[in-house]
Amino acid sequence: MHNPYVTLQIENQVGYIEFFHPSHNSLPSDLLNKLVSTINDAGSNKAIKVIVLKSGGDRTFCAGASFQELININDEASGKAFFSGFANLINAMRKCPKFIIGRVQGKAVGGGVGLAAATDYCLATKFASVKLSELSLAFGPFVIEPAVKRKLGLSNMTQLSMDATNFYSAEWAQQSGLFAKIFDTAELLDKAVVAFAENFCQYSPEAMKQMKSVFWEGTEHWDTMLTERAAISGKLALSDFTKETLKRFK
């Protein structure tokens, strides 16, 4: 696999959405936009009762937003647009009328943690360590913070955000509420994901839709809030401090 992609495949009424990027499954703006449209399509597709979100490859689940795009931000408008990518994705996931099950086979960094947190139920392997590296890059996880805090709680979100250079184990993520279950291998993970997802196909679509709205009750203001958070990050990306910091990581 060399070319980035987002695909949707339907098997036994389960919609499997898979994304891939050769740079550790990072998500540039075009892939983020494609993910948003694919989730919206799956949400309205009557042939699909439940959605599984996964990434290609057998290592990193998602390295977050595209670093190459980040270092090329030159004005506030492009900065806000860049960080709005994950804002739009998280909002699409929370507003999707169908349950979204996360399949996390490897490390999740930055926006990848936000992506896992925005699923309704997340399964992972023991290799799925997590890290929020944003502070070490001279900005912060402002856009994904509401989704991560909603799953992990304020204390764990604070710990993960401030300890920005270290990975936390999959066991820690499970104990903190991000992962429901963890498995020793990707093969065992896949069997569990399929069984768990297909079980929902026996349930009432309307009941699941109503339950999802209950799960996300109180997040109706996220459309506005996450856009505002994207603007904050966009401004920080333009600072001399941030530019100098990013040069060291380039």
The whole-number pLDDT of residue 95 equals: 98
The confidence score (pLDDT) of residue 71 equals: 84
Q: What is residue 250's predicted lDDT score, i.e. its pLDDT?
A: 62
- Quick one: pLDDT at residue 2? 82
Q: What share of the chain is helix, strand, coil (3-state, %, to 5)?
A: 50, 15, 30
Reported as type and span, the H/E element at residue 15 is: strand 14-20
- 13 DSSP 8-state letter: T
Global pTM? 0.95
pLDDT in tens, the chain (250 residues): 589 999 999 999 999 999 999 999 999 999 999 999 999 999 999 999 999 999 999 889 999 988 888 888 888 899 999 999 999 999 999 999 999 999 999 999 999 999 999 999 999 999 999 999 999 988 899 999 999 999 999 999 999 999 999 999 999 999 999 999 999 999 999 999 999 999 999 999 999 999 999 999 999 999 999 999 999 999 988 888 887 887 776 6
- Which amino acid does the sequence have at 153? G
Say which amino acid occupies 198: E
* Residue whose token pair is 């990027």: 21
What is the reported pLDDT for 225? 98
**DSSP of 65-88, one letter per residue?**
B-HHHHHT--SHHHHHHHHHHHHH
Q: In terms of Cα–Cα distance, which of 240, 128, 230, 132 is closest to 182? A: 128
Beta pairing, strands 5-11 & 14-20? antiparallel
Report the b/e string of 67-88 with b at 16+ CB within 10 A. bebbbebeeeebbbbbbbbbbb
**pLDDT, position 36:** 98
In this prediction, residue 202 carries a pLDDT of 94
Classified by CATH at the fold level, domain 5-202 comes out as 2-enoyl-CoA Hydratase; Chain A, domain 1 (3.90.226)
pLDDT at 73: 87
